[in-house]
Amino acid sequence: MPSDSTGRTLRQKRRSENDTFEFSDLLIAVYIAIPTYVANSTPVLTGRGGPIDQGRRFIDGRPILGANKTAKGFTYGLLLGSAAGLAEAALFTNYALAFVGIAASLGALLGDLFGAFLKRRLNIPPGNPLPLIDQLDFILGALLLTSPLLQLTLGAISILVVVTVPVHLLSNAIAYALRLKSRFW
């Protein structure tokens, strides 16, 4: 593709001048969202298990993550989120993208664990809300881990961040209505 004197392609230049979303932004967002949302929601569906931190406490005397973060939930979240990523790779017939789905799943789960760790440091009990952190920790973790594998656009990141907050709140309300969660957030 032709480039200007600064080396930017004309498409990049046109895009930065227009600051518009492109269809590719939506595709990237959907590709990351599906394994991320599957990985993040799976632990609610798989039930209880032993806590990842095995009941250990951090140097502040509080639980490292808390009883709600289980090895079973993490394992199943990673497996099912990765399976969703593999299915997307097969659908798009680009198996190199399977690694993106696996990274998104792992990032979502690690982001959620970071949110739990932060909440314990702030003395917020498991299951109690920490607005925005609860809604965004997993998507930010997914974005962090997928960024070396996929060229993330500002448009795709914006879509994911903006859409994730209401989707997360709605899915939690549904899980509460189905009695899968004891609290609606």
The first and second tokens of residue 111, run together, are 């982001």
DSSP run (H or E) holding 33: helix 23-46
What's the N-to-C CA distance of the chain in angstroms? 48
The first and second tokens of residue 141, run together, are 């973790």
Q: Structure pTM?
A: 0.86
pLDDT at 112: 97
Output the tens digit of pLDDT for each of the chain's 185 residues: 445 555 555 455 445 545 677 999 999 999 999 999 999 999 988 878 899 999 999 999 999 999 999 999 999 999 999 999 999 999 999 998 999 999 999 999 999 999 999 999 999 998 889 999 999 999 999 999 999 999 999 999 999 999 999 999 999 899 889 988 887 77
- For residue 92, the SS3 value is coil
Query: Hey, where are the domains in the chain?
Result: 21-177
Bridge partner list, 17:
none
Kindly compute the dihedral angle of the four CA atoms of residues 54, 142, 106, 108, in this order, to the nearest 10 degrees: 40
